[in-house]
Structure 1
Amino acid sequence: MFRSLVLSACLVGIALGLAMTAMQSVGVTPILLAAEQYEVSDAGTDMAHDHASGGHDHHHDEQAWAPADGGERFFYTMMSNIGAGIGFAAILLVLMNHLHARGRLVLMPVTGLVVGVLCYLAVFVAPSLGLPPEIPGASAAALESRQWWWFTTVVMAAAGLGILSLTTGWKRLLGLPLLLVPYSWVPTHEGAMFTHPDPQVVQILSELHREFIWAAGITNLLFWLLAGLLCVLVLQRLTTNPPAPDHQRQAGCP
């Protein structure tokens, strides 16, 4: 079963990565490219921003290597999305299979969609309430503090939503503090979000920022709905037709 789960995670992750790349190419990448045209770099100053395609922070440094625009950038984006897709799919498959084995989860398409929504709330919505997705040129707090806050928020949100979904009675109340604690301190940047000297450019960047939040939110929602659905379909197949034990395969048994 372990080997089947690993192989399934790879296949589902490839499908998710390709789908995510296609969705980003339509809704997210054009906004990023438009914002990059107005990005201003000051001498001796590093710019950091969050592309929010998967919740990752990107640090820009004039000395750092970066893929060239066009095919090279598309390729590395696709490979990054596939890697993230495989990782997320592996986590979902293991957790969902464990819950199903314990009788806590029914393998139905609607269940996969519900799991996808919960993952979307934990991985995208919860961090975005404190640190909304940012476009190039936006000012932000220190990179390390944002990364740690993002990671802590996702873990606590996932734990809180898990408790609310899987427990009953008064135990559900234990999930609420986990959802609220991260917002007691959020690493924010003091001052204006966009420091471009041209007010018209600042207005354009503000509009692009609003569009980017919506595009990133819709893209991530579709990603997680597809992830939950594919994982349920895979587990349905694996549990209906379980793989034969290794000693049977080696002996040539059907």
Structure 2
Amino acid sequence: MFKRILSTACYTGAIAALLLTLMQSLWITPLILQAEVFESADVPHEHVQERPAHEHAVGAHEHEHDAEAWSPADGWQRTLSTFGGDLVVAVGFALLLCALYNLRSPTKSWHGVLWGLAGYGTFYLAPSAGLPPELPGTMAAELSSRQDWWGVTALATAIGLGLLVFGRHWLWRVVAVLLIAAPHIYGAPQPAHHHTLAPGELQAQFRVASMLVNATFWIALGGLSGWWYVRQQAGESITSGSPFATR
């Protein structure tokens, strides 16, 4: 069982990560680079005035630390770093899906697509309803509060979807709807003044691209993992039923 889960997650996660990186490189990254141009152009040069000597020393010290900090350059370094992050995320989500398959084993390959769509709703659609993806240069609320709301929303959505699909009593379905709606009724943390440096059209393109890219990723991850899991199960059944199998 452990071997089946691990092999399925590694193989399908790697393929899904390659697909995700390709889509990000062709569609998402160009939009981010455009937004970074607007962010870099918004440097308040007019506020640069002569400062005391000790402030210059502190500023120089901070500048040295900034210069030492490494960040991937545009091109192959950025693409490789993106793939590394995508690989970790994809394998992690694939492990989660395979663990769920072990609890409720899919009988058809396309059942994995349904699990993938559930993952898409849990980890992207529900959190994005309150905290949509933002381009660089966008004013946002405090990071810790956004992370907390995102985690609570994903957990509530996952439990709610499980109760909707597998709950046998109507009362469980009512609880499921309330769970899914509760984080949005409470409201996501928002900044006091919403401000973005990128044009609204670019922001809209980025959100649509993120939505479609994530949908493709989750459908591919669910479909591939479901197909691979069912295939391995069938192979194990044939092997265990063989007269040459070790007893």
TM-score (structure 2 length as normaliser): 0.81
What residue in structure 1 maps to residue 190 of structure 2? 188
**Which residue, out of 82, 87, 92, partners 1:82?**
87
**Which residue, out of 179, 185, 207, partners 2:201?**
207
Separation of aligned partners in 1, 2:208 and 2:86: 19
- Once the two structures are TM-superposed, the CA of residue 69 in structure 1 deviates from its matched residue by 1.6
- Following TM superposition, where does structure 1 have runs of at least 4 consecutive aligned residues deviating by more than 3 angstroms? 40-43, 61-65
What amino acid maps onto 2:178 in structure 1? P
- Encode CA deviations 1:187-233: one digit per residue, 9 max, x unaligned: 10122322x4xxxxx5xx21111000000000000001011111111
Separation of aligned partners in 1, 2:214 and 2:66: 30
Separation of aligned partners in 1, 2:33 and 2:118: 31
Question: In 2, are the aligned partners of 1:113 and 1:225 still within 8 Å (CA)?
Answer: yes
- Once the two structures are TM-superposed, the CA of residue 12 in structure 1 deviates from its matched residue by 1.0
Separation of aligned partners in 2, 1:224 and 1:213: 17
- Once the two structures are TM-superposed, the CA of residue 41 in structure 1 deviates from its matched residue by 5.4
- Once the two structures are TM-superposed, the CA of residue 109 in structure 1 deviates from its matched residue by 3.2
What amino acid maps onto 2:35 in structure 1? A
- Higher Cα radius of gyration: 2
- Once the two structures are TM-superposed, the CA of residue 62 in structure 1 deviates from its matched residue by 4.9
TM-score (structure 1 length as normaliser): 0.79
What residue in structure 1 maps to residue 178 of structure 2? 177
What amino acid maps onto 1:35 in structure 2? A
What residue in structure 2 maps to residue 237 of structure 1? 231
- Once the two structures are TM-superposed, the CA of residue 253 in structure 1 deviates from its matched residue by 5.1
What amino acid maps onto 1:153 in structure 2? T
What residue in structure 2 maps to residue 72 of structure 1? 77
SS in 1 for 2:107: coil
Separation of aligned partners in 2, 1:188 and 1:151: 16
What residue in structure 1 maps to residue 15 of structure 2? 15
Separation of aligned partners in 2, 1:215 and 1:116: 18
What residue in structure 1 maps to residue 126 of structure 2? 126
Contiguous gaps of at least 5 residues in structure 2 = 46-64
* More helix per residue: 2
Q: Whose relative contact order is higher, 1 or 2, with alpha carbons under 8 Å and at least 6 apart? A: 2
Separation of aligned partners in 1, 2:213 and 2:133: 12
What amino acid maps onto 2:159 in structure 1? A
What amino acid maps onto 2:100 in structure 1? L
Contiguous gaps of at least 5 residues in structure 1 = 44-60, 101-105, 197-201, 246-251
Question: In 2, are the aligned partners of 1:17 and 1:78 still within 8 Å (CA)?
Answer: yes
Sequence identity, in percent? 33
Separation of aligned partners in 2, 1:215 and 1:240: 37
What amino acid maps onto 2:187 in structure 1? W
CA RMSD of aligned residues (A): 2.3
Q: Pick closer, same or farther for the CA change 1:145–1:23 going to 2, 3 Å.
A: same
